[in-house]
Structure 1
Amino acid sequence: MMNRTFVIIAPKLQEFAAPDWEVWFTVKLIPILPSFTAEMLLEVTADVNCTNYHVIVEGMGDVFLEMTSTRRQEITRVLVERLKEFAVQFNSPDCRKDIGSDAEWLDINLGLFSKVANYTDLKELNISGLAALESLSPDQKAELLLDPSTGAIENVTVVKEVLSSILKSRDEEQLEKFFETFVEFNLNGLDKECAACEKAGCARRSHRGPKGVSFPTLPSQENITYITNAGVRDAILNLTLTALAPKFPLFQTSDYELWFQINLVVLLASFRPSVLVVIPANLTCDSYDAV
């Protein structure tokens, strides 16, 4: 249906006035807009001004949840490349009228697709992650913290602000999504260190976690690398355990494995007996071993 409709309207796009874009992308096409392809979007945005572009983004955002994950990624890529290619235009006074912050700029120019974009893309669009914090996805927030150019991972105040923005979300999965990326980036960084060590002739050991996850370590380390700033470590650990505490009674052994053998490993240096009081005393033997 979308394909046939687009064949009909495509030749008329150059004749569209502002009201036409509005009626087509926010009314008429809505029922079939989830099937709008990246190729169609490329053609539609090839020669539009920022006002009409904003209408297109608004319409696409209205059907964001009805799109497949792959379609969202494809649409996001087109929108991001469009913004990069015409950065001067989209940052001109006319296009930035009534836009007072990076968060508002993201909302108008990418909408919900901003959460699908790569963190590096947002940086290339000159978006300040801290200024647009509430618009970032959990994985983007993790990358923001670990971005050396921001120095965020050494700033306790910033770390607390980022973690708090995740914990106050109604989406309970945000914390886990954050740690997926947070741990992945830490492991990738450690892999590079290990590769350099191996090249220099060092032996390589590993600490094996659940489900075959292997945490590589350097010969001089007892465990995986950890965040060196004690204040930052303490802040992340305390906020995380406080958020997890109400859920611990419902945890299965696999949950304890996930959090204590993977997600929280980079914070191990901050573990103290007082920290563990939030863990239920009636753990099963397997769960106790996992912790």
Structure 2
Amino acid sequence: MLTMGGPRTLVQVLLLSAIGVVCISTLVSAITNTTSGPGSVTYENSNVSTPSNGFQETCHPVNLKDASHRISAAVDTLAGELSCKRGRNESFPEDKFKELEQNLRQIVESTLKVFFDLNTNQSGFNVLDVFGVLDSLSLGNHSDSRFVRLWFSLKMAPLLPHVDENFLIQLSSQNFSCSSFQELIEAMSDELESSQGMEKRLIYSHFIQLYLSRKNLPEPGCTQNVNGSVEWLQRNFGNFSVFASLQDLKRINSNFSAKMALEQLSPNQKAELMLDPDSGALEDVAIVREVFASLTESRDVEQLNQFFQAFANISKQRNITFLRNPDVRDTMLNLTLTALAPEFEDFEPEDFQLWFQGNLAPVMASLHPGSLAVIPSNISCVSYSAILTGLEQSLQSLPLDLSQGVRSSKKSLKETFTRCSVPDSFMVS
């Protein structure tokens, strides 16, 4: 079939047909329920009356809601037929299945767009209810991972930007098997791989965490049929694992080993590992080297920054002013300055402030004049001042027996940057 704009696609034809059927049924319903009276017109060969203003009477938000719901329900029916065909015919071509799945999904996406284009802010409809997202989930077997994957693709994925806390809490109470739950997590991870939206954090806090914390599951925490901590983390958390705290992971899975899953941990989780009394990391240089190797191998300084910000924050919460093990402290400071050295040339004053007045505070007791050799000699005096302030702040918090290295470093810094020195009489107290 050709139009002025070119040939119609199969999806367009299906969608237009579906809309036509729904609109006709809506109109017939309106006609059938209309009685004769003032302002009505009676057709010549019929006893049925219709309002004199015809189609304008159907211009109500409830009609839009009902039509969208019916199209969505029709997609459910077609999806059921698709699943049935594949279930009964093991040789059903996978590429054909994917093609039909995409056609059905485009119908949902197109209907969703029409719904929002025609809807008004005053209608007050919940789009997740209009499209029957949770209702359609009840049409299949929650333990069937293929059904759950298809349901997500057709019904939940197009509506992910509209999920809220209440919907996700209801989703977490569904009786998924661990295999279907893991299939759902994989699908969500793929769908939101490049998303930075808040829905990712919500999905973790109001769905994944709640589901895995349930004690009434056949496999609480979904810890069975997985090979170690790495696979457990990947299959049950996917790309959402960065939002979990290390304590969450250990609470859900008492056998979880952060050391074994080190490469999978976020910078924040690695900071938690370092400060976890059970890990013994603050007394073990080998663990420190492993953690820092994982942080610096990508040469992404932002990972190191995130680690130290979390490390400093947790240290403050636990009233840790400085690390007491000198070997661990020396190793952390040396590895950090070595990783930062290539970046110092491009540092702004606020960057030096962030590191020397904040991030490095727990390890500043290991500073010595040689440590500052990595600081470029051409930094601005504002940057110099940011470093100097950090050293002075450390001197206020360190015990006398641990402050000698910082005192020597402060003296060396002033001698190196004489051009930035200000006579004491000009210093603001």
| TM-score, with structure 1 as normaliser | 0.79
Separation in 1 of the partners of 2:299 and 2:167? 34
Structure 2 residue aligned with 1:112: 239
Taking a change above 3 Å as real, the CA distance of residues 286 and 233 of structure 1, as seen in their structure-2 partners, is same
Percent identity of equivalent pairs: 36
Q: Deviations over 1:158-206 (max 9, x none)?
A: 111111111123643111111111111112222xx8xxxxxxxxxxxxx
Contact 1:89–1:95 (CA under 8 A) maintained in structure 2: no
Q: What are the equivalent positions in structure 2 for 1:33-112 lying under 5 Å apart?
A: 33-45=160-172, 46-65=174-193, 67=195, 69-77=197-205, 78-86=207-215, 89-90=218-219, 96-97=224-225, 99-112=226-239
1:13 aligns with 2:137: yes
Match status 1:287 vs 2:369: no
CA contact (8 A) 1:26 1:55 kept: no
In structure 1, stretches of 5+ residues that fail to align are: 194-224
Whether contact under 8 Å (2:233, 2:241) holds in the other structure is yes
Deviation at 1:114, TM superposition (A): 1.1
Q: 1:264 aligns with which of 345, 355, 360?
A: 360
Moved more, 49-58 or 241-250: 49-58
For residues 97-122 of structure 1, the C-alpha deviation after alignment (integer angstroms, 9 at most, x for no partner) is 2x211111011111111110122111
Distance 1:75 1:286 in 2: 43
Q: Which residue of the partner structure matches residue 198 of structure 1?
A: none
- Residue 77 (structure 2) aligns with: none
2:350 alignment counterpart: 254
Which of these two proteins has the greater Rg computed from alpha carbons? 2
Other-structure match for 1:128: 257
Unaligned residue ranges in structure 2 (runs of 5+): 1-111, 113-125, 388-429
In structure 2, relative to structure 1, the CA distance for the partners of 1:118 and 1:150 (3 Å cut) is same
| Cα offset, 1:57, TM superposition | 1.0
Equivalent pairs counted in the alignment come to 256
Q: Distance in 2 between matches of 1:66 and 1:6?
A: 27
Q: CA deviation at 1:64?
A: 2.9
Residues 189/42 of structure 1: CA separation in 2 closer, same or farther (3 Å cut): closer
**Which structure would you say has the larger RCO, counting Cα contacts within 8 Å and 6 or more residues apart?**
1
Cα distance in 1 between the residues matched to 2:154 and 2:299: 30
Please give the root-mean-square deviation of Cα atoms over the aligned residues, in Å: 2.5
| Matched residue, 2:278 | 149
Q: Give the distance between the partners of 1:6 and 1:245, measured in 2 at CA.
A: 56
The reply on whether 1:182 has 2:182 as its aligned counterpart is no
- One-letter amino acid matched to 1:20: F
Distance in 2 between residues matched to 1:68 and 1:242, nearest whole Å: 31
Q: Deviations over 1:125-180 (max 9, x none)?
A: 22221121122111111011111122111111111111111112364311111111
Deviation at 1:3, TM superposition (A): 2.7
2:369 paired with 1:273:
yes
Match of 1:25 in 2: 152
1:219-277 per-residue CA deviation (whole Å, 9 max, x = no partner) reads: xxxxxx21111111111111111111001111111111111111112111111122211
**Contact 1:35/1:67, CA 8 A, preserved across alignment:** no
2: CA distance, partners of 1:121 / 1:145: 16
Q: Which range is displaced more, 164-173 or 263-272?
A: 164-173
Structure 2 letter corresponding to 1:74: L
Structure 1: distance between partners of 2:216 and 2:287? 29
| TM-score (norm. length: structure 2) | 0.55
**1:102 aligns to what SS in structure 2?**
helix
